[in-house]
């Protein structure tokens, strides 16, 4: 029996509709006729991930907004398309003070590079701990010292980039199945091979978890510190995810590949694009949910991983608003 993270995944084409002040899902077959109906308990769902072709009307979306349910929409190739965030008092009544402070710290060259450097430092340390766990030697000292010398954001990004390249090379020593999961080069949009598509899928999932936790705080996800807020609409969740990608995502990839829970058969290739089968998505999500509902000891409390991400966002807010020193989360 699994613990629920109050999320629901829709993997089959169908229709979401509102009936009896509740959400009904009609599953379609190939001829668009209804084969099964399922009731999603509205008070037991916080987020819905849609990974298939789903019909929905504005009446249903309004009902979801009333109940504070977040929708994450993905393309059939499992790339992120966007999300529907309810426009309720919760999302509108954001503090103007926090937004102003966030803008000011973004403009403040020193403060911005301070936060960016701290995030990158924690990212490097967490990655190195991962390597250590699998018995792979990895020397972080030159990267940390290069990071301390870096003054501007492009320099910090350069340190991070060169570190990430070396880190990904270490993956070949960690992953045992070298025949189908050999890591050569990181490629995105679309990922070129199986290991890249696995990384992309898990990272997207962590970005979304971070995003929904940021929405619960008063921070504005549009203004990021390490990542430039250029043409992407949102970037703060990318910063936050840098800390948690090695802890949650990379360990999940290593353990699932080394225990042979995901093999080369779990991928479908179609016209050069690679995607998971529905069964593989279910396997990964079960692992992900058990990970997110795991409780660990942090600061004298027992917290789930979701709460730790939220705590991290609140710490960032404290650093932005009250000039408190910010120290990132390093998982021991």
Minimum distance, C-beta of residue 307 to other proteins, in the bound complex (Å) = 14
2 is a contact residue toward other proteins (CB under 8 A) = yes
What tokens does 269 get? 């290739």
Our CB check for other proteins shows the closer of 55 and 327 to be 55
9 is a contact residue toward other proteins (CB under 8 A) = yes
Minimum distance, C-beta of residue 227 to other proteins, in the bound complex (Å) = 31
Q: Is the CB of residue 176 less than 8 Å from the CB of residue 135?
A: no
Distances (CA, A) of 305 to 117, 128, 302: 23, 20, 10
Our CB check for other proteins shows the closer of 4 and 87 to be 4
Q: Which residues contact 321 (CB under 8 A, 6 or more apart)?
A: 97, 98, 101
Distances (CA, A) of 237 to 170, 203, 213, 297: 26, 11, 9, 24
Minimum distance, C-beta of residue 3 to other proteins, in the bound complex (Å) = 7
Task: Please tell me the distance from the alpha carbon of residue 291 to that of residue 82, in angstroms, as a whole number.
Answer: 24
Minimum distance, C-beta of residue 72 to other proteins, in the bound complex (Å) = 15
Helix axes of 278-292 and 194-216: crossing angle, nearest 10 degrees: 40
Our CB check for other proteins shows the closer of 42 and 192 to be 42
> Which of these segments, 17-25, 105-113, 203-211, 223-231, binds other proteins (CB under 8 A)?
17-25
Alpha helices in the chain (DSSP H): 58-66, 89-92, 96-107, 109-133, 141-149, 153-174, 194-216, 236-244, 251-258, 278-292, 305-322
Our CB check for other proteins shows the closer of 143 and 310 to be 310
Minimum distance, C-beta of residue 42 to other proteins, in the bound complex (Å) = 5
Minimum distance, C-beta of residue 305 to other proteins, in the bound complex (Å) = 17
8 is a contact residue toward other proteins (CB under 8 A) = yes
Segment (H or E) for 50: strand 47-50
Minimum distance, C-beta of residue 94 to other proteins, in the bound complex (Å) = 25
4 is a contact residue toward other proteins (CB under 8 A) = yes
295 is a contact residue toward other proteins (CB under 8 A) = no
Q: Which residues between 20 and 49 bind other proteins (CB under 8 A)?
A: 20-22, 25, 27, 38-44
Choice from 32, 34, 264, 286 touching other proteins (CB under 8 A): 286
What tokens does 98 get? 């926090």
Minimum distance, C-beta of residue 5 to other proteins, in the bound complex (Å) = 9
12 is a contact residue toward other proteins (CB under 8 A) = yes
> Which of these segments, 11-19, 151-159, 188-196, 236-244, binds other proteins (CB under 8 A)?
11-19
Distances (CA, A) of 157 to 225, 226, 229, 267, 292: 11, 8, 14, 32, 29
**Residue 104: alpha-carbon gap to chain centroid:** 26
1 is a contact residue toward other proteins (CB under 8 A) = yes
92 is a contact residue toward other proteins (CB under 8 A) = no
Going by C-alpha positions, the residue among 291, 295, 327 that lies closest to residue 312 is 327
Residues of this chain that interact with other proteins (CB under 8 A) are 1-4, 6-12, 14, 20-22, 25, 27, 38-44, 282, 285-286, 289
């Amino acid at each position: 029996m699994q613990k629920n993270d109050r999320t629901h995944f829709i993997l089959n084409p169908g229709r979401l509709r509102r009936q009896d002040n509740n959400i009904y899902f009609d599953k379609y077959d190939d001829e668009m006729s209804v084969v099964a109906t399922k009731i999603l308990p509205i008070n037991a769902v916080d987020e819905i991930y849609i990974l298939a072709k789903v019909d929905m009307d504005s009446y249903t979306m309004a009902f979801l907004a009333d109940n504070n349910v977040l929708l994450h929409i993905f393309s059939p190739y499992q790339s992120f398309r966007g999300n529907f965030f309810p426009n309720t008092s919760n999302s509108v009544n954001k503090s103007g003070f926090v937004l102003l402070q966030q803008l000011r710290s973004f403009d403040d060259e020193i403060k911005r590079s301070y936060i960016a450097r701290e995030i990158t430092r924690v990212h490097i340390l967490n990655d190195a701990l991962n390597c250590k766990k699998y018995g792979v030697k990895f020397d972080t000292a030159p990267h940390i010292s290069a990071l301390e010398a870096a003054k501007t954001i492009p320099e910090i990004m350069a340190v991070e980039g060169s570190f990430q390249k070396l880190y990904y090379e270490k993956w070949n020593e960690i992953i045992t199945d070298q025949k189908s999961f050999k890591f050569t080069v990181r490629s995105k949009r679309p990922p070129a091979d199986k290991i890249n598509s696995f990384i992309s899928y898990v990272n997207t999932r962590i970005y979304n978890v971070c995003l929904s936790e940021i929405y619960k705080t008063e921070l504005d996800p549009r203004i990021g510190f390490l990542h430039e807020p250029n043409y992407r609409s949102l970037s703060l969740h990318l910063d936050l995810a840098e800390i948690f990608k090695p802890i949650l995502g990379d360990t999940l990839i290593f353990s699932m590949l080394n225990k042979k829970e995901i093999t080369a058969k779990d991928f479908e290739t179609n016209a050069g694009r690679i995607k998971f089968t529905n069964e593989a998505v279910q396997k990964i999500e079960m692992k992900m949910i058990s990970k997110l509902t795991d409780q660990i000891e942090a600061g004298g409390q027992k917290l789930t991983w979701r709460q730790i991400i939220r705590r991290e966002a609140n710490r960032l807010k404290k650093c932005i608003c009250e000039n408190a020193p910010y120290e990132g989360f390093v998982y021991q």
